[in-house]
Structures are given as C-alpha cells and as structure tokens.
C-alpha cells in the first residue's frame, strides 16, 4: 500500500488550496489570539496571563519542531493534516467553554503543538506540488494568503469580542481547523508514508527517485543555507524585541492615540501583502544570488527599525513600516525558495521543523530581551540599538557571500539517484 499519490505536475490546484487554507488558518489564529488577550485584560490580568499565553503559543514550536519535522517525513501528509486538524478543532471548541486561566494556557499550548506538526508538513509539501522552477510564484501566493489572514484576524477579533464576547471568535477558530482537515483531504499531492516520488516538474513526468536516508543531509554542511538560517535567527531575535518596545514608543514617547498604535501595528502586515508579488518575481537565479538579496533585505528591515527611532511623530512610522513589511515579505519568499531548492525531499520535513524551532526560539528570546530592557532604557534608544545591531549582523553575513568566500558548494553526498523506470510526479498539502 502506498501513501503517495501520483498526479501530473505542476499541481497549481493544490497550491491554491493550500494557500486558501493558510489564509483561513492565519485569520482564525489571530482572531483567537486577539480575543483571548482582550478577554484576559478585561478580567484585570496583571500581564502575567498574557505573557503565559504568548509562551504557550511559542514554546511548543521551539521544543517540538525537530520531532514534528521527522514525523512529517515519515507519516502520510494527508493523515497528519486531517487528524491534527480535527484534534485542534476539538481543543479549540473546548477552549471556547473554558474560563480558568491555567486551562486556557494549557489548551493554547496543545493548539500550538498541532501547529508544530502541520507547519513542516505543509512546508515540505509545497516544493513537491510545483517543482523547484515554480517555487518563487508558489511562495508569493502563500505569502499573500498568509498576509490576508493576518490582516483580517485581529480586526475581526476586536469586533467580535466587543459584540459577542470571546466564545464566538474561538468557535470560528475551531471551524478554521476543520477547514485545514478538509484541505488535507482535497490535496492530491502527498508525501511521507512508505513511498516517495519525485518533485513536480515544469511539465510532463520525471524519473522516480529513491529517497536518500535521513542521515545523508545535514544543514551544517550546506553553508549557504546555514548562513541564511543563522542570520535570520540573529536579526529575528533583535527585531522581535521591537514588538515589546513599540507600544511604549508609540504611546508614551510619541504621545499617539490607541487608534494610531493599531494602525502602526497593522501597516507592517499590510506591507507583507504588498511585497509578496514583486518579490515572487525576483526569486529566480542561482542560490548564492538569492542569498545575497536575502541578506540585503535583512539589512533593510534593520535599517527601517533604526530609522524609526528618529521619527518625531507616529504618522511617519506608517510609510516606514509599510516598506519594512514589504521587505519582510521578500525575506519569507526567498528563504522558502532557497530551502525548497536545496533540501532533499526525504528530509524536508525534518529541516523545516528545525527551522521553525530556531525561528520561534529567536522570537521568544526577543520578547524576553525586550521585556527586560524596556524598564532600563528609553524606547527611542532601544529601537536605535536594535536596528543598528541587526544591520551589522546582516552586513557581516553578506560580505563572504558577495565576495565569493562563501561558495555554493555542498559537502553532503548526492541525495537521489534515478531509477530506470519513469513514473508520474507528485506529492503535497496545508498549514
């Protein structure tokens, strides 16, 4: 019995199904997070409850990422997406009828554990849906869908909590998990299980390949991808601290209203939407060129943070953050393209799980760092230092890439060998 389907390539239908599921999922997650945070604050939370909520969302991704990635490589993607989506829907429905803070935090942690499984499952599937040549366009579509969900979720959460309380937003989030399960059933592309097939080609069929053993590929041997991951983690940790500093900077230093703070927070996400399509078009060329562009964008995001420290009115943050969000979108597209090109299909889930773990760990560290530094320094100084540190990190990593001292060689052994027989391509799925 094989768990892998064999559709003809490329499977754009699957790309759009996965993108739609991503948009619905992000909308539901941000809707629920906003609703829970507003509810805790309304109950008089002293800040510890909200902090525990944020940790419950982040820690499972950090701790379970590598293990969940291995699961994504070994278990049929359809089984993983459907079973995890159904389980998350049940947990979210329970959350809607739970009032005890400790129970809320525990259930949120369970939901995040599900995301730790579905994220590498989908991340590993997308390259198999459309092949390496079409990755830039596919990543652009996925990025656009995610940005739409991220924009709609918080706004809906605020409106629904004010009108109906916290229960309805959480039940709607439960419905989004059912949508993930439905998308898992609808996707023709699948991976994992007992059989692996070649990734989708630009058209026609490709030779079937034997998957390399999981031990054949190590990220540490792929210096170009390792450079992108380490630089991303360093800058992400620094820039995430901005999220903590930002509210004090906008509300206290600049004296802006709560409405303006909401606009400033939303415009970065709007930039993610604006930048998705143009950066999807430049995601072509050799991997070293893409890595160089990636590091330039990383420096650009840091420069935006550094520049924001100098503004005298919150209104100026709107165009700055719009550009910053667009550059952030480019980062997401390019790292997805390079990852999809360089990581063998057989271990893609494992590497994606580790990547998610590193990114989430850097974010947690950034939140903690921001919380510790805010009482000690002025928000303006913190933004300037964070932006400058991120810029220096990006330049340090960029120099060996552009000078050629960091080549495009990979020391790991070949990861696939063609069989004599040919077979149709295929395999992939959402969240």
C-alpha span between 61 and 89 (Å, rounded): 18
For residue 396, tell me if it sits in a domain: yes
CB-hemisphere CA count at 13 Å for 395? 8
**Vertex 64, ends 426 and 46: CA angle to 5°?**
130
**pLDDT at 293 exceeding the cut of 80:** yes
**pLDDT at 380 exceeding the cut of 80:** yes
Residue 69 Rama label (left phi>0; alpha psi -120 to 50; beta)? alpha
Together in a domain, 101 and 181: yes
For residue 411, tell me if it sits in a domain: no
The residue from 153, 188, 212 where one domain ends is 212
Together in a domain, 103 and 208: yes
What's the confidence (pLDDT) of residue 194? Answer: 58
Cβ-in-10-Å burial (0-12, 13-18, 19+) of 158 comes to middle
Percent of residues, the chain, with pLDDT higher than 90: 17
Tens of pLDDT, residue by residue over 105-135, are 899 999 889 888 888 888 888 888 887 778 8
- In the chain, the number of structural domains is 2
For residue 414, tell me if it sits in a domain: no
What's the confidence (pLDDT) of residue 278? Answer: 83
For residue 62, tell me if it sits in a domain: yes
Beta bridge partners of 207: 422
């Amino acid at each position: 019995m094989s768990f892998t389907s064999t559709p003809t390539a490329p499977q754009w239908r699957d790309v759009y199904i996965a993108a739609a599921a991503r948009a619905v999922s992000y909308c539901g997650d941000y809707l629920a997070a906003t609703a829970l945070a507003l509810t805790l604050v309304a109950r008089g939370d002293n800040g510890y409850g909200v902090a525990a909520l944020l940790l419950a969302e982040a820690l499972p991704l950090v701790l379970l990422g590598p293990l969940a990635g291995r699961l994504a490589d070994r278990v049929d993607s359809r089984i993983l997406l459907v079973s995890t989506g159904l389980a998350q829907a049940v947990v979210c429905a329970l959350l809607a009828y739970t009032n005890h803070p400790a129970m809320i935090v525990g259930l949120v942690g369970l939901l995040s554990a599900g995301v730790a499984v579905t994220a590498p499952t989908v991340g590993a599937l997308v390259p198999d849906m459309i092949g390496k040549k079409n990755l830039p366009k596919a990543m652009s579509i996925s990025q656009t869908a995610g940005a739409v969900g991220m924009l709609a979720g918080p706004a809906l959460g605020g409106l629904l909590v004010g009108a109906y309380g916290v229960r309805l937003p959480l039940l709607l989030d439960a419905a989004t998990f059912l949508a993930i399960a439905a998308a898992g059933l609808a996707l023709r592309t699948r991976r994992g299980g007992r059989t692996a097939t070649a990734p989708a080609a630009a058209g026609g069929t490709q030779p079937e390949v034997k998957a390399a053993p999981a031990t054949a590929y190590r990220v540490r041997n792929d210096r170009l991808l390792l450079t992108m991951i380490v630089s991303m983690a360093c800058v992400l940790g620094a820039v995430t601290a901005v999220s903590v500093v930002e509210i004090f900077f906008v509300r206290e230093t600049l004296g802006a209203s709560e409405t303006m703070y909401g606009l400033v927070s939303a415009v970065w996400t709007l930039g993610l939407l604006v930048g998705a399509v143009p950066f999807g078009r430049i995601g072509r060329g050799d991997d070293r060129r893409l890595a160089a562009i990636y590091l330039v964008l990383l420096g650009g995001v840091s420069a935006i943070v550094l520049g924001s420290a100098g503004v005298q009115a919150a209104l100026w943050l709107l165009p700055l953050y719009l550009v910053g969000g667009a550059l952030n979108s480019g980062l997401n597209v390019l790292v997805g393209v390079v990852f999809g090109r360089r990581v063998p299909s057989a271990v893609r889930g494992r590497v994606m799980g580790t990547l998610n773990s590193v990114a989430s760990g850097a974010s947690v560290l950034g939140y903690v760092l921001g919380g510790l530094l805010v009482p000690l320094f002025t928000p303006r100084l913190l933004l300037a230092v964070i932006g400058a540190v991120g810029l220096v990190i990006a330049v340090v990593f960029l120099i060996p890439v552009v000078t050629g001292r960091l080549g495009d060689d990979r020391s790991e052994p070949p990861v696939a060998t063609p069989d004599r027989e040919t077979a149709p391509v295929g395999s992939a799925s959402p969240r």
